[in-house]
Structure 1
Amino acid sequence: MIKQQLAERLQQIFEHLHKHPEISWNEVETTAYLVDFLRSEGLDPQTFPDMTGLYVDIGKGTPTVGFRTDIDALWQKVNGVFQANHSCGHDGHMTVALGVVLLLKELEPTLSGAVRILFQPAEEKAQGAKAFVDQGVVDPLQFLFGAHVRPLIELEDGTYAPALYHGAAKLFTGEIHGVEAHGARPEQGANAIEAAGALIDGLKRIWISPAESASIKMTQIQGGGASTNIIPGNASFSIDARAQTNETMEALTAGFEKAAGAVSTLYDVSIDYNVDAHIVAAQVSDTAKSILEQAIINVAGEENCAPDAITPGGEDFHFYTYSKPELQTTMLGLGCGVTPGLHHPEMTFNQKHLPTGAEIITQALVLALQQTERSDTK
């Protein structure tokens, strides 16, 4: 397929996906569209009886390398109306994935093995990768590649990075249970709001090495009722934690647990909490990154191969390696002029780089297949 034909076909695909966004775990029509497309190409996509998403294999034998794309959209206010919106670029990622499918179909007779393409739901909820792991989708794979469009502040338009070093994120939600009392007799109660204030202060005393990037802060607090002369007995809270490495996130978590325990004792309250979301930091394989770097050079030229991109944002993709450390992974950073920024309701990017992204990923998959073939013959 010549470049112009690929570009024209991918433009049609992108326009459809962009106009039909669906939020996490509700990607029903998106899944159906992808299934129909793959079947029209003579492939046999595999779906799930109890969730959205799918995967498809191309080539002969058991797949050893794969490419994962995310398929969900965000829910946000656009022009004053709340709606599903592809402001994180997942429409572009799916377009790249279908471009990879088209290119691999042409190469299929010459492939040295099989490739698996994963269309993962619920990335924005940090739940889809775990669901795919639980389903065994990545069990046979040795290499797994991903891709993500990047803002101008990270990558110049038309450049490509062989690794994205996302940070870790955790969202804690919880409740503080104290004792209500008359406002004139505070000694008879246990003030949940004062305990929440102490917890905020405790979070500020979690010391992390200045060489590490990290933050932990309370982002929601609600307590008390309509009457202002009652010592509040209950309060609810949310805490957002961020760290560039998984080890630093473990230190933040331990600090939060210590602070919660100390406040419980000091204020005679109980604090119950859950981890509502846990996004792990990137654990990039040197071998996978080297393969992707070579693919970028082969397709786009050495002058357009950018350094690794380090970003404080999170990405569900990295849960695959976190769950299966033997899986070698990296993500392609697509420098395509994302403006004003990711998750902005009016986010746009330069779509002309999507075919190049598909070519790079296809090249990386072929190189990874050759790598696994060499390993198997040793």
Structure 2
Amino acid sequence: MSQATAFQPLLDAGKKLEDELVRFRRDLHENPELSMEESETAAKVAERLRALGYEPKTGVGGHGVVAELVGAKPGRTIALRADMDALPIAEESGEPFSSKRPGVMHACGHDAHTAMLLGAAALLAQQRERIAGSVRFLFQSAEEINRGARLMIEQGVLDGVDEIYGLHNLPTLAAGKVATRYGSLMGSVDRIEISLTGKGGHGAIPDQSIDPVVAASAIVMGLQSAVSREISPFDPVVVTIGSLQAGDTYNVIPHRASLVGTIRTFSPAVQASMKERVTRLAGKIAEAYRCTASVDYTEMTPVLVSADECVAHVVRTVEQAIGADNRVEAAPTLAGEDFSLYLQQVPGCFFWLGSGPREGAERAYGLHHPKFRIEETCLPLGASLLAAIALNRLQ
């Protein structure tokens, strides 16, 4: 029996779950919950796991849920992870099952990820006799604020885990396709907060003041030199100031100003160098404008780097299951994912699952867009592929 034929029953079983997965995903979509508030979502996940015969542990790393399937024979432990939180975005998708909660939306597809992992849990429960080892299912909260993975790791979810796998839907990739990449796939995420102190005064008498707004403007521009003149052009870096706040009215020079932003890199070495660089530049530029600066630099998540052996396993499994023509090379992105924290602890692989319109159809809206939508045919395929990845590793 060929491998492609061997995976067909699993794909067929996943397809039979489609209606159930769609219903579950739509229920989550109508009732989204923000990071660290996913209590209802977690309760629904736990209820479904119990119906499948699992004994889930709840309240892990916030509202995370963990369940384990122990195979018929001893062996390694493979973890599969999905995230559950939504975003503070007002939905404009026009879907009949749009969010019922104003200003909150599943605009990144974590509702779909949760449904897929539940589908994988259902499929693997039927394959227990073929499993040599264990599969641990991690339903994680608070991915969007880069807290959930760290909290779950601190509570021991990776204890005894040999490898971990996860996926993320991608609406700009056609449903039915998978994208993988060796090495670095997604960027690091750091947060910077710069507080400036000058000397407030009348807007008409600037010589008697020290203007922190001018200093802040110079820092915004000066930080770009960290990219253009201090880092190799072959090492991608993005420095974005997303908030600059100062003053309350038109004719007053404020006493203080604050800047908040993010830094993304694609190299662990470059990420490690950015704190010193930002602190130095902000401090020296502020000094040149007679202001003082304090910098709060937080490294939130590292570069997401999959292990070569695990990527090769995913590539083999995907190509055997759906054909090599349905797997493509993933482009690198500086968007971040706290799955990278798991990969710092154990080897694993993170990959993209197409959730967009078929090639040649209408253009899809991207992740975090208020009109974000997915092709729900990706749900049973994602469930089947996650199950196949674990099953193929534990036989």
State TM-score, norm by structure 2.
0.85
CA–CA distance in structure 2, aligned partners of residues 3 and 87 of structure 1:
24
Aligned match for 1:162, one of 180, 185, 193: 180
Which residue pairs with 2:355 in the alignment? 336
CA–CA distance in structure 2, aligned partners of residues 296 and 304 of structure 1:
8
Match of 1:283, SS state, is: strand
CA–CA distance in structure 2, aligned partners of residues 50 and 125 of structure 1:
13
Match of 2:377, SS state, is: helix
Which residue pairs with 1:373 in the alignment? none
Shift of 1:90: 0.6
Gaps of at least 5 residues in structure 1 are 371-378
Contact in 1 for aligned 2:223/2:239 (Cα 8 Å): yes
Equivalenced residues, count: 364
Match of 2:126, SS state, is: helix
- The code of the aligned residue for 1:296 comes to V
Contact in 2 for aligned 1:64/1:143 (Cα 8 Å): yes
Please say if 1:296 is aligned against 2:314: no
* Residue-by-residue CA offset, 1:157-209 (whole Å, 9 max, x unaligned): 32112348112222212321222245566455432112212212321221221
Superposed, which structure 2 residues align to 1:82-231 within 5 Å? Answer: 82-152=102-172, 155-163=173-181, 165-183=185-203, 186-206=206-226, 207=229, 208-226=231-249, 228=251, 230-231=252-253
Which residue pairs with 1:375 in the alignment? none
Which residue pairs with 2:383 in the alignment? 358
Which residue pairs with 1:261 in the alignment? 283
CA-based RMSD of the aligned residues comes to 2.3
Q: Once the two structures are aligned, what percentage of the paired residues are identical? A: 28
Shift of 1:227: 6.1
Aligned match for 2:42, one of 5, 21, 31: 31
Which residue pairs with 2:8 in the alignment? none
Contact in 2 for aligned 1:215/1:241 (Cα 8 Å): yes
Contact in 2 for aligned 1:168/1:249 (Cα 8 Å): yes
Contact in 1 for aligned 2:189/2:302 (Cα 8 Å): yes
CA–CA distance in structure 2, aligned partners of residues 3 and 263 of structure 1:
58
CA–CA distance in structure 2, aligned partners of residues 279 and 14 of structure 1:
28
Distance 1:299 1:234, change over 3 A: same
* Residue-by-residue CA offset, 1:124-146 (whole Å, 9 max, x unaligned): 11111111111111122121101
- The code of the aligned residue for 1:293 comes to V
Shift of 1:3: 4.3
Distance 1:277 1:78, change over 3 A: farther
Which residue pairs with 2:370 in the alignment? 345
* Residue-by-residue CA offset, 1:199-231 (whole Å, 9 max, x unaligned): 123212212212222221322212123361x44
- The code of the aligned residue for 1:40 comes to A
Which residue pairs with 1:53 in the alignment? 64
